[in-house]
Amino acid sequence: MQNQTGPAGLKTFEDLDWAQQNNPALIEHSLGQVTVLGDLRKYLRWLDDHEVTTTVTSKLKREKLRAKGIHPSSACKKKACLLKLFYECTYQVKPAKKFDAKSQLTWDIGTMLHDMMQQHFSAMYGEQFQYEVPLQYGHIKSRTDGIFSFDHYRFILEMKSIKEGGNFGWEKVQASPMEDNVRQAHFYMWLANIPMALLLYINKNGSEFKEHAVLFNPVLWNEIEQNVLTPVLSAAFEKGPMVPALPGWHCRWCDFAHACPEKGGKKDADSDWSEEGS
């Protein structure tokens, strides 16, 4: 796909802009390179053939406070509560995290799966793969699961561990990725100036993978900027108008519900088990 006057692949937003105007076929070709599963299968086979031991180290953190600011994992949600995002930027209300053993163990398992895959990708791709890369612009603070950098293309890695069944299960991601996950990947692409992302779903109980290549969509990003980032950052850091709350089912898991004037949560998120363990 070498072109005499333009880039040979997609590594930056500038490359994407150029390709959209001059060589759309380059975009399709580059998206076709946003994949790891073929290499992963060969690597797993190689590990087995050579009886190689892989050591995976996991840190299971229990920090209760994140840095003040916009965090993509919260702000990506299509129905994100702007008041919650405002509180995450200011801590005007002190968060009260409830202990929930089942949720905590679910997150821990997800962390360990992430670490396992990052270890494999590091062994497979060497310096072409960086993991847990910090990304920040102003008050937008994040850390991406990984960045792949090859000769003619780069892409963000965003992994999600998922199980079969349920409203957010494995079956839902067979044809396309989940909308909120695409939105989250857009934060990382924008922050890193990388126009493509790989959403890799890991089936926890079926030990299968599903991958989706995502191209940066400026229309979607403009919507996120206008409806989420601009109002929340303005209210939190520039004395702009206060943002509205969006109460709903998600209030059950909101760390600010205890002090929120609008809270719509109806049930306590603690299960019987977590009550016993707390």
Where helices occur in 131-229 by DSSP H, the ranges are 179-192, 218-224
Q: Which is nearer to ligand SF4, 22 or 73 (CB)?
A: 73
Our finding on whether 245 is near ligand SF4 (CB under 6 A) is: yes
Q: Which is nearer to ligand SF4, 183 or 263 (CB)?
A: 263
Segment contacting ligand SF4 (CB under 6 A): 106-114, 138-146, 151-159, 248-256? 248-256
Q: Which is nearer to ligand SF4, 141 or 263 (CB)?
A: 263
Closest approach of ligand SF4 to the CB of residue 70, in Å: 15
Q: How crowded is residue 3: how many other Cβ atoms within 10 Å of its Cβ?
A: 14
Are 148 and 128 a contacting pair, CB within 8 Å?
yes
Question: What token pair was written down for 54?
Answer: 């892989």
Phi, psi of 225, rounded to the nearest 5 degrees: -65, -45
Rounded-to-integer distance, Cα 65 and Cα 229, Å: 21
Strands (E) across 174-261 are located at 196-203, 209-215
Answer for which of 77, 84, 114, 186 binds ligand SF4 (CB under 6 A) is 84
User: Pattern 249-268, binding to ligand SF4, x per CB under 6 A?
Assistant: -xx--x-xx--x-xxxx---
Are 265 and 251 a contacting pair, CB within 8 Å?
yes
Q: Which is nearer to ligand SF4, 248 or 277 (CB)?
A: 248
Question: What token pair was written down for 98?
Answer: 């409830």
Q: Which is nearer to ligand SF4, 71 or 84 (CB)?
A: 84
* Residues binding ligand SF4 (CB under 6 A): 81, 83-84, 245-247, 250-251, 254, 256-257, 260, 262-265
